[in-house]
Structure formats: structure tokens, C-alpha cells
Structure 1
Amino acid sequence: MAMTNGHSSPIKLDALIVGAGFGGCYLLNILRKEGLSTKVVEAGTTLGGVWSWNRYPGARVDVEVPYYGFSDPAIWGTYLWPERFPSDTELRRYFQHVDKVWGLSKDIELNTKVVEANFVNQSWEVTTSSGQVYCCKYFLACTGTSFKQYIPEWKGRDKFKGIMHHSSLWPEEPVDLTGKRIAIIGAGSTGVQVLQEAAKVATHVTQFIRTPNYALPMRQREVSEEEIYAYKSQFPHVFKALRNTAAGLPMEKPDRNIMDTPPEERKVIWDELWKRGGFNWSHGGFADVSVNKEANRIQYDYWVTKTRARMTDPRKKDLLAPLEPSYYIGTKRPSLEQDYYECADQPNVEITNSPITEFTENGIRTEEKTTDFDIVVICTGYDAVTGGLRTMGIKGRDGLDLDEKWSKGVSTHLGMMVNGFPNMYIVYGPQAPTSFTNGPPFIELQCEWIRDVITRQERENIVTAEASKEAEAAWRDGVIKMANQTLLVETNSWYMGANVPGKQREFLLYVGGLPAWKNACEDALEDWRGFQVQKAA
């Protein structure tokens, strides 16, 4: 291949996909079947998206199998999951299986970041960290919600001489926690999972929290081969049904209200859902918990009673399950735990909400005291939903910078297209159901819609397609209006972009549920409604 400025000459493609998680892998598979020359660039060392990066102690997904997987029988028909909620190691093994069945690797470039993407002369010129340039008609961003880490600028952080890692930057070689003094900063799902592992082997663990995590029982268990085969005949029906539920999970959207249900009946319903584990209790109970403050408080009181009973230390009860809620239940993503509260209750575990003032060479100083640590685990999350997209140097028509366009508010159409960025499609991004659904079935729907738009462009000889300004504005207004009808906007969460200082506070996701979003996408394809298209001369 010819070389230009020390690098290979531009590679010409029909489509370039950024990210090799669920979205990137599925898009690659279905676009190749349409005869489109397609490649994937992935920053990680393996396929799997976030599961290429998540290697911290205790990492596992919070959606059970087989729902957290592709619907293709060629995939699930030849794979055996060992646990109800798979670990990060198992998920990487699953993606190796996907790679083998679909033959993906030959079209995927690993260890490759996109540093710039420019729309020039009716095509995209995408430059990677190696200096390679790809020229493509379609630019497909599958970076997901959790790529750009958020790490606070603590005073003296660089002084610390021990081991320190952000959870998503955990080294591939395991870090032994045995006998160590460990600090866990953050109480999101990652903090919960790390504490569960660390408390069992460490000399001492301190978890630094700002607000408690209203975590729910996971009910983790092993899954036998016999059980999987006994239910495989149901898998096609389950995968089909998942596409038509509000959260992409095997549960109906509740039509009953807490305020209309007698207390004794509420308890029976909640007790049964609590025993099921997973998101059954939070998603399958009552409809008014997300919109009615009194109903929300009643549901919180059930949770707090159940949770406080699992701890003996009065102070830890008040920090992790306070009698007065710190925020409305369900307005931050609930984490699933196995024995978090029992682990937190152990004498070798300290829970503190005293703010960190600075790092020392040997540990962390708070407003109350200084503590020495061997290992610091940073579980402060991500510049979620938009961070990955805004750091790729994406510039659309006439040099319009996506980061600048979104600096005062995100705007998309259907959560997949942006005005001023022709032939750019987003998977698992903002203003779509994204974090309010089980990822794989939702992602498959998005990818199939994108495929349909692209093949229609090819069939109708359309050079470029993008969201119209009017459709984009209307979609943004609708997303915000729906969110404002719920309690979600009352809480400073990453849903609101409020976890990152300086980030615009706005609700970033679509809360109308998967069926309503899917109907909107289908309607949008009628007569290119909501699109701005340019046909070939």
C-alpha cells in the first residue's frame, strides 16, 4: 500500500464504525450482508466495548442472561452461560464467540482511537491515532455511554505513591487486594461491586460516598447446562418480546399505582418482586413511583426497611440506608448487589461521607482525618452518554464542531442523527432510550433502522441524509418535556449530566419507552419526514 507522510494512503470504505461493542459488532455484521464495505476501529484491546475496559474486581453486568445478548440463534444456540449475571471475564469470552460465529475480526482494527473526523466533499475523512485516514460515505459512532472517564482533580493526587486506578482503566493483570488497605471512591455500581470483593480479603476498606446507592438484590446464581437447554426453545419468543417492552426486559410496564393500592396488597406485590431479584422490583411494580412524590416515598420506605435489616452498625445504616431519603428512589440508576450491605457492615469496612480534601504520599486526607492506603480505586464514573462523542474531534458540514454544537445543549433527531452532520449515525447515545433499556435488543433495533436508512439512500441514489433543523428541535423539546413530567429531573445524576463539573445540566435520555421510540423511528422513514436529503445530480 502506498504511503503518505509516513502513513498508509487513505482507505476508502462505504462505512466506518467506531467502537466494537454490541452496536459496532451488530452493525458490522448486518452492513456487510448488504454488500457494503465496512470496517470497525476500536480503542480497546478486545471486542466487547465497555467489557473490553471493565476488568476491576467484581465487575459484572446487571442484566441477566439470555436477555443480555444477541438474538441471532447462531450466537445463543451455541453458547452456554455459566451464571445468571455474567462477569466481565465471561462477557469477553462471549464476544470471542460472537467474533468466531460472525467472522468479525478481519474487519476490526483494535488499539485504535479516532482523533478527528471531518465531513469534506460529501464524505467523511476519519483520522486515527496511528495516522491512518479512512474515507467513507457513512460514519457510524458506536462509542456508547461509558467511554470518557470522569476523574476529579483532587489536590495532591499525583503525590500518592501507592496503586491507583480508575475502575475503567484497570490493568489487564489482576491487582491482588489480599491483606491490603483499600480506598474505594464512589458509591455507584462499580463501587458496590469492588467493595463486595475487597471486604472479603482486605485488611481494611474505606468507601468514600457522597450519597448512598439504593442498591437492589441481584440474586446471583450459577446456571446449569441442563437449565439452559430446557429453556432454549423459548429463547426466540423471548428475544422477540424484548423488543416490545418499555425497558427491553421480560416484564410488562406496570399499570397499577401505589396510591390506588392498599398497603397489604402493595406489600404482597413488592415481596414477590423483591424475591425475583434484578430490576423486577424497581421496574415491575407500580407506574406512579417515577411521577408521584408520595408514592416514591412509600416505595423508598419499603426499600429502606428491607435494607437496614441487613446491617447492625447504626452509623452505617444511616449512611447507606437513611430513614430520610437523599434523593427520590429510581432517579439514579439502581445498582444490583449480592452482599454489599453485609460486607459494608463488617468491622474491617468503614463508610464515610466526609469530603476528600487532598491526597498524601501514603493516603487520603478528609475534613475529619488522614488514612493510609495501599490501593485507591476510583469509582467516579464517566462523562456519560455524550463524553465519548464529544472527544473524537467530529466536525460536520462547514467545519461545524459537534462538541461546540452540544456545549449549550444536546440536540438530535431520534437519538441517532444530528443536523449539520450528514450520513453520521449514532448508536446507544443521547436522547434515545439507551440507559433506560436492556442494551442488546435496543441496540439491534437502532442498528437495523440505520441499515434501513443507508440501504434506502443507496437505492434512491441519495448522497447525504441528515436530521432537519425542525425535526431535531422538536425531538429535543419532546425528550425534555417527557423528562420534566417525572421526578428524574429533581436529582443531580449522570442522567442529567450533573456528575461532571461544568457540563450542561439537562436530561440526556429518552424516557418514553422502547415501543414509543420504535414507532417514532418507523414514522420518520415515511417520505424522509424529518430528514434533509441531497440526491445525486
Structure 2
Amino acid sequence: MCAYREPRHTADYDAVVVGAGFAGLYQLYRLREQGLTVRVFEAGGGVGGTWFWNRYPGARCDVESIDYQYAFSEELLSEWRWSERYPRQEELLRYLDHVADRFDLRPHIQLNTRVERAVFNEETGRWLVETTGGDAVRARYCVMATGCLSVPWVPDLPGLENFTGEWYHTGAWPTEDVGFTGKRVAVVGTGSSGIQLIPVVAEQAAELFVFQRTASFSVPAFNRPAGGAAAAEANTGFRRRREFTRHSVLGLSTPLNPQSALAVSADERRRQYEARWRMGGLHMYGAFADLLVDRAANATAAEFLHDRIREKVHDPGVAEQLLPRGYPLGGKRICVDTGYYEAFNRDNVHLIDIKDTPIDAVTPRGPLVDGVEYPVDVIVFATGFDAMTGALSRIEVRGRGGAALSEKWAAGPTSYLGLAVSGFPNLFLVTGPGSPSVLGNVIVSIEHDVDWITEAVAHLRERDLALMEATQDAEDAWVQHVSQVAGSTLLADVGSWYTGANVPGKPRVFMGYAGGAGEFRRRCEKVARQGYTGFALSPAPPRSMPVGDRRRGPLHR
């Protein structure tokens, strides 16, 4: 039994939800719909999650607006109109603010409140959730809607604290305007956020120094206004489109060509790639069925994109530096850009390769690379996130016997269906490790997970059951399945944030479910249909069930 002593003054709810982004807002809506009392804690000063914090210039979603929205309300679908094909951060935040107001969710959300601790009490069968501000609440159910990309990672560079200019991270951008006009700016990182930010800074800054460790594959967005007949037609066919995405591989509306890239002629391959290129963005994934499982097939797509980069960048030497090499297309999420490669044709933009000669330190004047100092006024770290597990690792989560989630996940995260963890009853994860989550359209994954969790809670309440807990055997089997599926693709061995390789010291584990959104949905539906196989359901808080062998390996074992 956990020996943790509860505070005297606590409030009681049926459920606590941590996070008020897309996942937390929808989870709140669904649980309230079931008549439950709910408290949501959100660290930010507003709703929005990722889209509250990532307000850097150029921030934009890489999934089309029509697909990156809720599907639960016909009224919401009919009254909201997106202005562009790919939504900007500002518009996404307005949308989520509208949802919070439209469905009267704000009274149940406590902003500017970071959860510090969540402890399961075996005597009461309830979770005690405490915040850094001193709040303490008890709840039967605890849902972690903390987001997959919510903890920015800043490299530990000697001397950064002595830098005399300003520095920022794209994932924790200030609410006030940050101006670059006439300044010398360093952008460190060329992943998705860097690729979106760099063209904007290039137009304003006197000089821009781009520090690149690994070049990314990026496809033009071909963004455009979303109004008119096209928008009306898209909304009319939304239900059909969403149903397709729910059962697709990536949760996207793009059709997958069932052919192998190696089974067609070179001319036909090029036609397919050209067509996907013109469609823009993530549609490139669907060009051929074997791009993520066959290295030779993947190489044909990489070669096509290399040629497009060479066409866009005038300086052949710079173009070669911008060619992604050493990993397959899709091994890191394909980026979606507007004018990224063209920015390097500007005289004020300079590319510094730090793959073999990393940044040694930051002097009071700027980054130092191989003995060369780059004096700048502003440094922007576009260095990504401690993905998938970062937010949960910063909360003290304790289950049966006081066992810490951080200890259970010391060698890498484990879960059952990415929704639950053995030894932690009534704790649910939205888009947790071991689920498809960030491998496609995360909104489709969020809706699935929230609906599944809500229906599981309803199942318990209808049968007067108190607890739902993943068994160790089910968790082990799921971990093995996730590992086998990842191993059948080209993704598992790539040094990416999918595997935690971007954060020094983090266990290397492929954290997503590569079997696809549709297959994941089918498996989860089967578990529920069969009475929640793999879960122990109990009418009272049992105190004898073992926590499980916490020495078991992570998702890749």
C-alpha cells in the first residue's frame, strides 16, 4: 500500500484530466456528457495545449484544416469555417477557444496550474492529484491528456547563460511580439518548427545563420485560401472523409497507392511522385505501399525529393548540404513548408553544418563552432521536444505499492494499447506510447482514445465496478507486438524523436504503434467488445494484486 499521506483539504471529483489541448478539451466534453464531475488542470494561461505554446512566426499545422478538427458535433462543423488549407497557429487557437466557449467547458478548467503529483490510494481506490500551486483533489479516474509534443528540449550548451542577446525556444514562444527586423539571428535546428520559422525570419533579419545537424525531407504545402465552393464541398463530404481517415494507416485522407514502387516503370514512378508532390504536404506518404518497409523502394522517393531540392536551391554546394541522407524518407516525420528551400537563395541566409562539428558553446556574443564565433542578437532553438513521455516524466505518478511510473519506464515506456499501464488502476493515457499518436493525424488518434476511455468508464459505472487495470501479461504482449510491427518497417532504427534519440540519455525506444490507425482501432474495438480483455475489472479496491515485474523491458523488447 502506498504510504503517501494525503493532504487534509481536498476536493472530490469523478475524474481529473491533465491538459487542456485538443485531447483534454474533448475528454472533458465526453465525461461531462456522461454526467461526471470533472476537473481539468492546464499549465498554460489558456486552452490549446501545443497550439498555445507553439506561437512562433510561421507556426502552422502539417495536416489539412478539414482533417485537423473535431468530428463530434454537427453544429460545430457547420458553424466553423477555416480560412486556409493548412491552419495557422493563431487560427487553431481561435478554434479551440471557440470550442471551450461553445460547449461551456471553461468552468471546469483551471489554467496556469501545473500538476506536480498523482498518487493512487489503494484503500480508497482513488487518485490524489496535487499541483504546484497547492491544490489537491481526489478522483476515481485520472486521464493524462498531456500531449506528445509539450516539453521543449533545449541543448545543454556551455555559456548559454552568459549570452548577452535574447534566446527563445519555438515550443515555448512568448505571448509578446518578437521582432527580427535588422537583427542578426541564429536558428538552431531544421526540423518542422525550424523549417516553418526560417523563411519568415529570412525576410526580416539583417543576417540569418541556420545551424543544421540533420537535414529534413520537406514537401511544399501549396497552401491556399479554404473558402468558396471547395470548402463547401469538403464540409459536405466530411463524414465520408473522416470515416476513411479512421480506418486508414496514417489517419489522413490521402489514398494509399497499393502498388510497390519497384513494380512499376521509372516513368510511372516519377508520375506518381510528381502527382503527390503537386498535392503537397504529407500526401507523399501514400505514393506507394512499400515506401516505409522496403529500403530500395524508399530510395526512389528520396532520390525524387533530392532532385526537387537541387532545383530549388541555386548554390549547388548549399543544395547538397540540404539533402537528407543517412535515413529513409519518413524515418523522421516529413515536413511541410512554404518557401523553406528558397530562403537559402537569399544573400542574408547562411547555412552552417554542425553534424560533424557541433556547437561547442555559446559565447556572450553567439554560438561557437569549431573555433568560429557567430555574433548574433537572437538565438532561436528549434530543437524539438522530449516527445511522447516528456510531460509524464515531469509528474510524480505513483500506482500500487507506491511504485513510480518513472521507475517502471526507466528503460523505456511500456503500456497496454498506449491507453493504460499495469500497476496504475484507472489511469488512462491519451495518445500514449504504444499508440499511433504522432505517426499520422493526431486528431484522429485523440478522438479514438478519448471515445475508448469514455466508453470504458461508462462500462465500469454501468456494472458498479470500481477499478480497471491493465494486466502485466497483456502489457507484455502489447509491448512485444509494438516492437515486432516497428521492426518490420524502416522506422525503428532511425535516430529520431520517435525513438527519443534527440534527447541525450533518453532510452532508445520506438514509441509509436506503426501498425496504423485503422489496425489499432480494430484491435482496441476487439478488446472492448470482448469485455475488456487484458484488463482486470474489480468491484472494490483490491489490495493484493501485484504491481508486476518492473524489470520488464520497454516497447522495443
Superposition TM-score, scaled by structure 1 size: 0.96
Q: Distance in 2 between matches of 1:425 and 1:193?
A: 33
In structure 2, the residue matched to 1:180 is 183
The whole-number CA distance in structure 1 between the counterparts of 2:203 and 2:464 is 62
CA distance in 2, matches of 1:260, 1:128: 57
2:283 to 280, 283, 286: 280
The one-letter amino acid paired with 1:90 is E
SS of alignment partner, residue 368 of structure 2: strand
Of the three residues 285, 291, 294, the one matched with 1:292 is 294
The 1-side partners of 2:532 and 2:90 are apart by: 43
Aligned-pair CA distance for 1:241: 2.4
- RMSD in angstroms over aligned alpha carbons? 1.5
- Given that residues 60 and 88 in structure 2 are in contact (C-alpha distance below 8 angstroms), is that contact kept between their aligned partners in structure 1? yes
CA–CA separation in structure 1 for the residues paired with 2:224 and 2:177: 24
SS in 1 for 2:128: strand
Bigger drift between 232-241 and 445-454 goes to: 232-241
What does residue range 447-458 of structure 1 map to in structure 2 within 5 Å? Answer: 447-458=450-461
**AA aligned opposite 2:92:** L
Question: CA separation in 2, counterparts of 1:24 and 1:78?
Answer: 22
Provide, for residues 226-249 of structure 1, a one-character-per-residue CA deviation record: whole Å limited to 9, x for no partner: 542344221222223221211111
3-state DSSP class of the match of 2:469? strand
Q: After superposition, what is the alpha-carbon deviation per residue over 1:154-201, rounded to whole angstroms, capped at 9, x for unaligned?
A: 011101011101111111001011111000001111111110100011
Shift of 1:536: 3.1
Per-residue deviation, 1:150:
1.2
Q: Give the structure 2 partner of residue 535 of structure 1.
A: 539
- Does residue 201 (structure 1) correspond to residue 204 (structure 2)? The answer is yes
The one of 266, 270, 273 aligned to 1:267: 270
> What secondary structure is seen at the aligned counterpart in 2 of 1:382?
coil
C-alpha distance in 2 between matches for 1:229 and 1:256: 32
Aligned position for 2:508 = 505
The answer (yes or no) to whether the contact 1:80–1:225 under 8 Å persists in 2 is no
Q: Which residue of 1 aligns with 2:27?
A: 27
The alignment's TM-score, normalised by the length of structure 2, stands at 0.93
- SS in structure 1 at match of 2:130: strand
Aligned to 1:301: 303
Residue in structure 2 matched with residue 361 of structure 1 by the alignment: 364
Match in the other structure for 1:435: 438
The alignment partner of 1:376 has SS state of strand
Aligned twin of 1:312? 314
Identity %: 34
- Whichever residue aligns with residue 309 of structure 2, its letter is T
Contact 2:43 2:114 in 1 (8 A): yes
Unaligned stretches of 5+ in structure 2?
Answer: 1-6, 542-557
Provide the rounded CA distance (Å) in 2 between the counterparts of 1:421 and 1:446: 18
Structure 2 distance, partners of 1:413, 1:297, is: 34
8 Å CA contact 2:58–2:196 kept in 1: the answer is yes
How many Å separate the matches in 1 of 2:468 and 2:235? Answer: 41
Q: 1:231 to 1:150 in 2, by over 3 A?
A: closer
Task: Note if contact 2:146-2:392 (Cα within 8 Å) is conserved in structure 1.
Answer: yes
Contact 2:482/2:513 (CA < 8 Å) preserved in 1?
Answer: yes
Report the CA distance between 1:225 and its aligned residue. 4.7
Deviates more, 1:400-409 or 1:519-528: 519-528
Cα distance in 1 for partners of 2:237, 2:488 equals: 37
Displacement of 1:294 after TM fit? Answer: 1.3
1:248 aligned onto 2:234: no
- SS at 1:503 equivalent: coil
Separation in 1 of the partners of 2:478 and 2:233?
44
Q: Which amino acid aligns with 2:296?
A: E
Choose which of 483, 487, 492 in structure 2 pairs with 1:484: 487
1:212 aligns with 2:215: yes
What is the alpha-carbon distance in structure 2 between the residues aligned to residue 515 and residue 359 of structure 1?
Answer: 46
Query: 2: CA distance between counterparts of 1:81 and 1:487?
Result: 35
The total of aligned residue pairs comes to: 529
Letter in 2 for 1:298: T
Mapped to 2, the partners of 1:51 and 1:497 lie a distance apart of 22
Tell me how far apart the structure 2 counterparts of residues 137 and 225 of structure 1 sit (CA, whole Å). 48
> C-alpha distance in 1, partners of 2:230/2:288?
31
Alpha-carbon contact 1:74-1:101 (below 8 Å) kept: no
Code of the aligned partner of 1:493 = S
**Matches for 1:311-390 after TM superposition, within 5 Å:** 311-321=313-323, 325-354=325-354, 355-390=358-393
Query: What is the CA distance between 1:363 and its match in structure 2?
Result: 1.0
Report the counterpart of residue 68 of structure 1 in structure 2.
Answer: 68
Stretch deviating more after TM superposition (450-459 or 225-234): 225-234
Specify the SS of the correspondent of 1:465: strand
Looking at structure 2, the residues matched to 405 and 239 of structure 1 have their Cα atoms a distance apart, in angstroms, of: 36
Distance in 1 between residues matched to 2:109 and 2:459, nearest whole Å:
25
**Given residue 418 of structure 1, which amino acid in structure 2 is its aligned partner?**
V
Query: Could you tell me which residue of structure 1 aligns to residue 544 of structure 2?
Result: none
Task: Show the counterpart of 2:476.
Answer: 473
Asked if 1:109 corresponds to 2:110, the answer is yes
Look up the match of 1:81.
82
Distance 1:482 1:33 in 2: 36
1:17 & 1:498 partners in 2: Cα distance? 29
Structure 1's unaligned 5+ residue stretches are: 1-6
Residue 3 (structure 1) aligns with = none
Q: Give how far 1:490 is off.
A: 2.6
Local SS of the residue matching 1:372? coil
